[in-house]
Structure 1
Amino acid sequence: MQVLQLQMAVQPDPAEVGRARAWARTRLRGCGYDPDAPLSETLVLVVSELVTNAVVHTGCPAVLRLVFPLDVEAETPAVRVEVADASDTPPQRRCAEGDAVGGRGLELVDCLCDRWGWYPDGSGKRVWCEIDRERPPTAASAGVQAMAV
């Protein structure tokens, strides 16, 4: 299957999260995705969560990559988001308490994505997730998207 890969470098600075969201929106629009469609909103939210994890929990530079399938006839035409960083510490799902301001990122990724995971990559790791393009939004993902607005 042919794919289009786009990537940007992310510095270990929380301000980079907003830059990553804006970059992702621009790239989605450039690839023909409606920026207001549920898929685009979900992808931008997932980018935000994965970049936040890399910036906040590793303190290392990272690389954000979006991978778009060019073959719309593919059996699973998924869009893939990857964040690679130089930390070898595995991502940890946390259980956030009531009013906690953090600790929900990987739970959101798990709810919003069709598949996600991580693997060692050189001296660091790569966290990835995939969202099927043709999947209709679920009630759970619509509710999470509404919370993100």
Structure 2
Amino acid sequence: MQVLQVQLAVQADPSEVGRARRWVRTRLSGHGLDPDAPIAETLVLVVSELVTNAVVHTGCPAVLRLSMPVPDAMSGDAVSVPVRVEVADASRTAPAPRHAGGEATNGRGLELVELLCDRWGWYPDGSGKRVWCEIDPNATAAVAAEVPVMDEFAWQL
């Protein structure tokens, strides 16, 4: 099994979060994945949250890494391997999910990561840390298939 790993250096500037989201969409599209597929939307949201945390809470540059299975040359199918997102930053402070109140405008990032990913965690890395998460593409597709689609009439009720 082969895994494609790509990474992006992110500067300590909140505007870099948008650049990271665009970069992920481009990488996914270049890898043959529909950028509007449920897993793509999930990955973009997770990247947005993890990069935001790194940039906002450390005030230092970070490195975003994306690891994806390479489709099998014979069948064209990707091996059932999770897609992994990692963000390395310069802080050794452990990430701690918060439970934001209803009116809070922040504090939900890691809670979203926890809900959207199959696994997530962190570990010390050099003088900082690395926060990671994994998403099983098959599980994401199965959940998306179960979500009912509302037609235009239902929205008007």
TM-score by length of 1: 0.88
Q: Which amino acid in structure 2 is aligned with residue 46 of structure 1?
A: V
Q: State the partner residue of 2:61.
A: 61
Measured against aligned partners, the alpha-carbon deviations of 1:63-83 in whole angstroms (never above 9, x if no partner) come to: 000001126574x41100000
Shift of 1:137: 4.8
User: What is the number of residues matched between the two proteins?
Assistant: 139
Shift of 1:138: 3.2
- Cα distance 1:137–1:108, how it changes in 2: closer, same or farther (>3 A)? farther
Indicate whether 1:116 and 2:116 are aligned: no
- Could you tell me how far apart the structure 1 residues matched to 2:125 and 2:142 are? 32
Q: Note the aligned Cα RMSD (angstroms).
A: 1.5
Q: State the partner residue of 2:26.
A: 26
- Could you tell me how far apart the structure 2 residues matched to 1:92 and 1:115 are? 15
Structure 1: segments with no counterpart, 5+ residues: 143-149
3-state secondary structure, aligned to 2:138: coil
- Could you tell me how far apart the structure 2 residues matched to 1:102 and 1:60 are? 20
Q: Which amino acid in structure 2 is aligned with residue 79 of structure 1?
A: V
3-state secondary structure, aligned to 1:138: helix
- Could you tell me how far apart the structure 2 residues matched to 1:41 and 1:7 are? 19
- Could you tell me how far apart the structure 2 residues matched to 1:132 and 1:77 are? 7
**Identical positions, percent:** 73
Q: Which amino acid in structure 2 is aligned with residue 32 of structure 1?
A: G
- Could you tell me how far apart the structure 2 residues matched to 1:129 and 1:25 are? 17
Q: State the partner residue of 2:44.
A: 44
- Could you tell me how far apart the structure 2 residues matched to 1:77 and 1:32 are? 16
Indicate whether 1:80 and 2:78 are aligned: no
Structure 2: segments with no counterpart, 5+ residues: 148-157
